[in-house]
Structure 1
Amino acid sequence: MLTFRDSTQKDFKRIAAFPANASEAFYMFPKGTFPIDPEQLYEVSLTRRVPTVIEYNGEPAGYSNLYDIDEGNSGWLGNVIISSQFRRIGAARFLIQTMMNRAKEELGLRELNLICHNTNTKALLMYNQFGFKPYDLKALKNEEDIEIAGILMKITL
């Protein structure tokens, strides 16, 4: 059974270990390094809103937060990651739906934005299924210093 709760400092050692490689770490935390430093990720969470852990039968399975909140208007979905052992059981969908609900119900947001890298096809397709629509591109450098496109997407909540 999937549930959610606010993250605590002790969660970040586990969350930092979720990315299986440098590409996954970049998708989750572009400003971080691989392996991810749990303390750095925790410090970032302190500047974010509703840092959320999802659990599968009590085991941490995923993490995300919201940032750049314009109260009552819009915000950004960030640091989305699902542990590899909990993929393909609906954890990502549960996490995204939870974050959309928290954005609307707890923060009163009307719109949620995100950036998804063009190389992360599975995530792009999933966000599209939720109703997120692309509206712009942002040139980024990936973990190998290669230029990629950050696809800006949004949904009305």
Structure 2
Amino acid sequence: MNTDLDFRPVRDADLPAICSFARSAEELYYLAPRARFPLDVEQLAASIAQRSDSSVVCRGEEVLAFANIYRREEGACWVGNVAVAAQARRQGVAGFLMQRMARLAAERHGARELRVSCFNRNTAGLLLYSRLGYTPFALEERLDDRQQPIMLIHLRLPLT
């Protein structure tokens, strides 16, 4: 377990680090489909302003992961902008982030279910959500940044 990790609300000083998480246009598309690569502080701040509960995972002063809530409905919270720094991937940081987002959604918003959306080409994301117990419940056809068909898979996790 990652006992050296902290979870807290995002601060303005965290934004440059978060902007560096998406190392390619494809990674940025998974994180924020409407954003332009490379992600900059202005785009990220605008996205944060339209969402709630933007949060980071840190180890000491180093920002390692980011997520927020972009929709609340019928006892469910939708988590989006999920991103992990390249150097922190495959170390349990994303799982820690999603567990803390689930706790926040339940405690602050009374959520009984956490929902996420993940593009079919984002294998790492789909593997993560599957390992955490999320199950698909809907599919949405989209066009990617090159106007090619892509599938957005909506997943959910019941909260106890």
Code of the aligned partner of 1:82: V
1:138 shift after superposition: 0.6
Code of the aligned partner of 1:20: R
> What is aligned with 2:135?
133
TM-score for both structures, normalised by structure 2: 0.92
TM-score for both structures, normalised by structure 1: 0.94
Deviations 1:89-121 (A, max 9, x none): 211111111111111112211111111000011
In the alignment, is residue 19 of structure 1 matched against residue 22 of structure 2? yes
> What is aligned with 1:121?
123
Q: Distance in 2 between matches of 1:46 and 1:8?
A: 12
> What is aligned with 1:73?
75
1:52 shift after superposition: 0.3
Code of the aligned partner of 2:20: A
Q: Size of the alignment, in residue pairs?
A: 156
Deviations 1:125-151 (A, max 9, x none): 211121111011111122222111000
Alignment equivalent of 1:104, drawn from 103, 106, 119: 106
> What is aligned with 2:154?
152
> What is aligned with 2:55?
52
Contact 1:12 1:39 in 2 (8 A): no
Code of the aligned partner of 2:6: T
Q: 5+ residue gaps in structure 1?
A: none
Cα RMSD over matched residues? Answer: 1.3
Q: Distance in 2 between matches of 1:91 and 1:142?
A: 27
1:32 shift after superposition: 0.5
Q: 5+ residue gaps in structure 2?
A: none
- Structure 1 runs of 4+ with >2 Å offset: none
Deviations 1:1-37 (A, max 9, x none): 1111100222212211111111110111111011012
Q: Distance in 1 between matches of 2:124 and 2:80?
A: 17
Question: SS in structure 2 opposite 1:52?
Answer: strand
> What is aligned with 1:90?
92
